[in-house]
Amino acid sequence: MLLLTPQHWQDYELIDSGNFEKLERFGKIITARPEPQAIWDKSLSEQEWQKMAHATFTRAKGVDKSTEKGEWNIKKGVSEQWWINYAYKNVKIKMRLGFTSFKHVGIFPEQSENWDFIIDSISEMKVDKPQVLNLFAYTGGASVIAKAAGADVTHVDSVKQVITWSKENMEASGLDNIRWIVEDALKFVKREVKRGKKYQGIILDPPAYGRGADGEKWILEDNLNEMLKCCKELLDEKHGFLILNLYSMGFSALIAETLINQIFENSFTEKQMGELFLLDKFEKKLPLGVFWRGKR
């Protein structure tokens, strides 16, 4: 069981965490926003947080800690959109960030650990132009990374607006020709299985709950088993990598391991599982989901 935290960020840091909040720096912008797993005390004072933060997210009134909808209080003169960079080995990408009504800013910085894995996996692969499928792909950090590393990428998300956002990230990174699919992820992979399609890399970042482009319902515990069975049919038997992220607080890495071992019949020659976390300046470890990943 591994505990992994990002190693190569210049444009991101977790400054402090506690009292169900986190204080983060994205490039030159510092944000304060809710974090339900930061149940400990803050290390800095409330006054220091208020002084440092350029933007603070407040949940909508009358909602519980699990609800992410709310609004940002942005200090005067602070831009609502800005850019940050990420680099690992010979791969460099650029990502546009912005304040959304669901506390997100367009990137999950802990995922850079998986970005490095994608870059290493593609560089080691004895396949010309490997095909990579990114499901529940959001603003496309993993898609842009895979493209920059030399793969042909198919990016699937049910929300048209985040596909547009992903295109901006691709173009700003000096790339083109990612295949964009606005569709329910499970419906898409079922169709790809019927077509006999094969991919050398599959990335899954499913939410606990979600809706497809046509209102299809996604419930993690109900649909993940079927999704992974489809991915087994799609993943190249000889050359391939698989990444699964789980953010639901009720899911452990052991669930991911058991599911994948059964469905893929222990066919991966290398595999890792564990938790992703961010380390703040005061050495507090903030867990941000579990992962399983493997290579053939």
- Per-residue pLDDT of 279-296, as tens digits, reads 999 999 999 999 999 999
Q: What does the pLDDT read at residue 62? A: 60
Tens of pLDDT along 247-268? 866 789 999 999 999 999 989 9
Full-prediction pTM beyond 0.75?
yes
Q: Is the pLDDT of residue 64 over 70?
A: no
The CATH classification of domain 106-295, taken from the options 3.40.50.10490, 3.40.50.150, 3.30.2130.30, 3.50.50.60? 3.40.50.150
Q: Which of 194, 221, 191, 187 is nearest to 206 (CA)?
A: 221
The CATH classification of domain 2-81, taken from the options 2.10.109.10, 2.60.40.1180, 1.10.3720.10, 3.40.1550.10? 2.60.40.1180
Residue intervals in the chain for CATH 3.40.50.150 = 106-295
Confidence class of residue 211 from pLDDT cuts 50, 70 and 90? confident
Residue intervals in the chain for CATH 2.60.40.1180 = 2-81
Q: Is the pLDDT of residue 66 over 60?
A: no
Neighbours of 146 (CB within 10 A): 29
Residue type, 9: W
Tens of pLDDT along 101-134? 889 999 999 999 999 999 999 999 988 899 999 9
User: From residue 2, how far is each of 42, 121, 273, 277 by CA, in Å?
Assistant: 26, 18, 6, 10
CB 235 within 8 Å of CB 196: no
Confidence class of residue 57 from pLDDT cuts 50, 70 and 90? very high
Mean pLDDT, residues 269-278? 95
- Mean pLDDT score across all residues of the chain: 94
Degrees (nearest 5) of the Cα angle 46, 35, 107?
A: 110
